[in-house]
Amino acid sequence: MIALLPMKDNSERVPGKNIKPLNKVPLFYYIADTLKKSNLFSVLAVNTDSEKISKLAKRRYGNWVEIVDRPKGLCGDYVSMNDIIAHDIEYFGVDNDYFQTHSTNPFLKLETIIKASKNYISCKELGECNSVFSVNSIKTRLYDKNLKPINHNLNILERTQDLESIYEENSNFYFFSGSVFKEKSHRIGSQPIPFIMDRNSIESLDIDSMSDWLLAEYFFK
């Protein structure tokens, strides 16, 4: 299985966040170290346009890392992650299984990755899924943009704990096959199953803003 860790040179909301020191350590080291410890992945693929990121990754992880040079056409803040993944799969081949995550998930636990990988492998072998991805389960009264209830009945007013769960994609990780991605052009697949995480846990934090960064820093104090 190949681990995909895409990282661009700069980011809009937290400048240089992929290598920005968090507790004196470049941010991407946290998730990459965890992936290394898992012994699940034959390769850590770093798709990047940054020479600094490439050098740091090679220096720390040696031959386990494969640097995938990102072409100019895939650089910038508005490029779809699907296009980045498609570039990786073209590089490594459709016959592999893939795990994709982000440097912005520094608190993702080793045991979570191992458990989710077992879920993916077993359900795929049984033909019951072709992808597993992390979600937060939400049980609260939700409305659409027209203020129509999504998951509850105004006339019944159920307790929130009794509401049907709605899943929020939390961008922590995705397991999928290259062949399914090629067919669907996205990482969710046609038979996904969720891996439910605690949305109130620091583990599910995806650093996407300065407030997220400050929360991560606070955790290390």
State the Cα–Cα distance between residues 47 and 186, nearest whole angstrom. 17
Q: Ramachandran region of residue 179, left (φ > 0), alpha (ψ -120 to 50) or beta?
A: alpha
Per-residue confidence (pLDDT) for residue 199, from 0 to 100: 87
Per-residue confidence (pLDDT) for residue 196, from 0 to 100: 96
Residues whose CB falls within 8 Å of the CB of residue 46, separated by 6 or more in sequence, listed in order: 5, 6, 7, 53, 54, 57, 65, 66, 67, 68
Residue that the structure tokens 């890392």 belong to: 65
Domains in the chain, ordered, with CATH? 2-219 (3.90.550.10)
Q: Is 208 helix (H, G, I), strand (E, B) or coil?
A: coil
Q: Ramachandran region of residue 33, left (φ > 0), alpha (ψ -120 to 50) or beta?
A: alpha
pLDDT-flagged residues of the chain (< 70): none
Percent residues over pLDDT 70 in the chain: 100
Q: What angle do CA 177, 180, 181 make, to 5 degrees?
A: 85
Q: What number of other Cβ atoms are within 10 A of residue 1's Cβ?
A: 16
Per-residue confidence (pLDDT) for residue 119, from 0 to 100: 97
Residue 67's alpha-carbon distances to 30, 55, 56, in angstroms, are: 18, 9, 11
Q: Which amino acid is at 156?
A: I
Per-residue confidence (pLDDT) for residue 12, from 0 to 100: 82
Per-residue confidence (pLDDT) for residue 4, from 0 to 100: 98
Q: Is 151 helix (H, G, I), strand (E, B) or coil?
A: coil
Per-residue confidence (pLDDT) for residue 13, from 0 to 100: 84
